[in-house]
């Protein structure tokens, strides 16, 4: 389900070989790390918005790691992340990190 417009941004999980717009996981393991890709046709400032983190319960922490800027954001406290993007950026500059899950299913 990726946009056919080359300038439009898109976010996905997966790897270089398999990019998933929708990724349903059977369960989350303790300290699960999921690569998050971002691609856009234009350089500029972008915002990632998150919702639903509260559905994981109080013991589960969810973080967004920006590997380029070496920043870690707690998505249970902050629902948006602003960043500057350049076409030269690594597509997989982000990670979603789930901790405190204890085999959340």
Q: Which residues of the chain have pLDDT under 70?
A: 1-6, 15-30, 101-105
User: Greatest CA span in the chain, whole angstroms?
Assistant: 41
The pLDDT assigned to 45 comes to 97
Share of the chain above pLDDT 70, in %: 74
pTM: 0.78
Classify the C-alpha dihedral 40-53-79-73 as positive or negative: negative
The pLDDT assigned to 57 comes to 76
Phi, psi of 96 (to 5 degrees): -100, 130
For the chain, the structural domain boundaries read 10-99
> What does the angle CA 82 – CA 12 – CA 20 come to, to the nearest 5 degrees?
170
pLDDT tens digits for 74-86? 998 899 999 999 9
């Amino acid at each position: 389900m990726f946009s056919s417009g080359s300038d439009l941004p898109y976010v996905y999980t997966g790897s270089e070989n398999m990019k998933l717009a929708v990724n349903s996981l059977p369960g989350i393991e303790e300290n699960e790390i999921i690569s998050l890709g971002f691609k856009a046709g234009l350089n500029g400032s972008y915002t990632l918005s998150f919702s639903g983190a509260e559905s994981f319960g109080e013991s589960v922490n969810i973080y967004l790691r920006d590997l380029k800027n070496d920043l870690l954001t707690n998505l249970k406290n902050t629902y948006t992340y602003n960043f500057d993007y350049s076409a030269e950026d690594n597509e997989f500059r982000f990670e979603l990190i789930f901790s405190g899950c204890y085999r959340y299913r």
